[in-house]
Amino acid sequence: MHNCAEGFDAGFDNEFVVFLKYARRSASEIQSEIYLALDRNYVDKTVFKQIHDKATETKKIIYALIAYLRRSKPPKSLLDYTTTRLNDQETIMLSYHELRSTFEALNLADKPVIGHAAFRRFGDVEGGAPTVLHALLDSSSGLIMPTFTYNTMVTPEVGPPNNGITYGSDRDNNKRAEPFQITMPPDKMIGILPWILLQQESSIRTAHPILSFGGFGMDSALATQTLYEPLAPIGALAEQNGWIVLINVDHSVNTSIHYAEKLAGRRQFVRWALVGDRVVECPGYPGDSSGFQAIEEYIKPDTSRVEIGDAFIEALPLKRLFDAVQEIIKKDPLALLCERLDCERCNAIKSF
Ligand SMILES: [Zn+2]
């Protein structure tokens, strides 16, 4: 309150915002203190909840007021901060608790999830990317993430026909390829969160030389992966009422659509990877995903979405996605393929 009064006296909106941010941080401070108090049995759970909720509500109001000052027009509701978008110059340090309550709005507590994430769009997060991962882990009953390694792949001189590949075309890449190791980082395209997941104690990683998955609390689902069924963990997750969580990314990285394509009978490919000093054939390799965003309109009614600052999180049940993908491929065998004329895997499916 003192910070707000001091800021209001400043007379300029920009300065007012600076003081409001202090006030917001103070409310976060109260929340972390009350956690400590609960840990040490100074307060019981009821008192803890009252104070924690009050601080959360205060933060929402301050957040909405900051947004209001930035845009000079009021948000729909002062409490509706998750759908309040701040302008691009706005940087607000997100805390674990804010991320946690954002994830909680998606009701994933009793569900295992497969996550795909781009961290950078969150802007400043207290504690960085690990904070986002922990908020997700603490808001769901288990997590798997793709930890794919494309730098293990090699292209042979010859191979099976209609395989969406130009044999003998990648000789330079072949020279740079590295044998798969369980300790190697996931491909950069996959983002930082899967790499942080793999650093967690008691997380595990499957040993597929290209399409490995990392997981926490999901050992039985991960154990279903074989060289022939690389995406089997996604099917196992669906059997456990699993959901997909897309954090700042769209469906073009939604690996679960590949699993559904296979269910729909769509052609799969063969690829090759280095393991030790051998080249291993990897069947069941999926097609191209760059046309996947077209699924959005079909699964919108089943998708929950929350926004926090410029960031967004979407969640939907795997089984619903599987149904939708199979339905639209049945209607149109070319659905979800990309438009690129030189896309070898999409062309292989179109010409088959
Ligand atoms: Zn394509």
Ligand 1 midpoint to CA 324 (Å)? 20
Q: Tell me how far the alpha carbon of residue 162 is from its chain's centroid.
A: 33
Enclosing domain of residue 300? 101-350
φ, ψ of residue 178 to 5 degrees: the values are -120, 145
Within this chain, do residues 107 and 79 fall inside the same structural domain, yes or no? no
Within this chain, do residues 86 and 158 fall inside the same structural domain, yes or no? no
Ligand 1 midpoint to CA 340 (Å)? 6
- How is the beta sheet containing 304-308 ordered, strand by strand? 203-205, 213-216, 142-146, 112-117, 243-247, 311-317, 304-308
Within this chain, do residues 58 and 179 fall inside the same structural domain, yes or no? no
Within this chain, do residues 174 and 314 fall inside the same structural domain, yes or no? yes
Ligand 1 midpoint to CA 185 (Å)? 26
Per residue of the chain (352 residues), what is the pLDDT tens digit? Answer: 665 566 666 556 667 777 777 787 777 777 777 777 877 788 888 888 888 788 878 877 777 777 666 655 443 444 444 434 444 444 568 999 999 999 999 999 999 999 999 999 999 999 999 999 999 999 999 999 999 999 999 999 999 999 999 999 988 889 999 999 999 999 999 999 999 999 999 999 999 999 999 999 999 999 999 999 999 999 999 999 999 999 999 999 999 999 999 999 999 999 999 999 999 999 999 999 999 999 999 999 999 999 998 899 999 999 999 999 999 999 999 999 999 999 999 999 999 7
Instruction: Please give the Cα distance from 146 to 95 (Å, whole number).
Output: 26
Within this chain, do residues 37 and 88 fall inside the same structural domain, yes or no? yes
Ligand 1 midpoint to CA 193 (Å)? 26
Instruction: Among 92, 117, 139, identify where a domain stops.
Output: 92
Return the closest-CA partner of residue 289 out of 254, 244, 315. Answer: 254
Contact (CB, 8 A) for 263 and 154: no
Instruction: Please give the Cα distance from 155 to 169 (Å, whole number).
Output: 7
Ligand 1 midpoint to CA 191 (Å)? 21
Instruction: Please give the Cα distance from 237 to 243 (Å, whole number).
Output: 8
Within this chain, do residues 57 and 107 fall inside the same structural domain, yes or no? no
Give the H or E element holding residue 273. strand 269-275
pTM for this model (two decimals): 0.75
Within this chain, do residues 77 and 132 fall inside the same structural domain, yes or no? no
Instruction: Among 73, 92, 111, identify where a domain stops.
Output: 92
Within this chain, do residues 39 and 113 fall inside the same structural domain, yes or no? no
Within this chain, do residues 184 and 83 fall inside the same structural domain, yes or no? no
Within this chain, do residues 142 and 77 fall inside the same structural domain, yes or no? no
Ligand 1 midpoint to CA 337 (Å)? 6
Within this chain, do residues 20 and 110 fall inside the same structural domain, yes or no? no
Number of domains, the chain: 2
Within this chain, do residues 86 and 162 fall inside the same structural domain, yes or no? no
Ligand 1 midpoint to CA 270 (Å)? 16
Instruction: Among 66, 92, 118, identify where a domain stops.
Output: 92
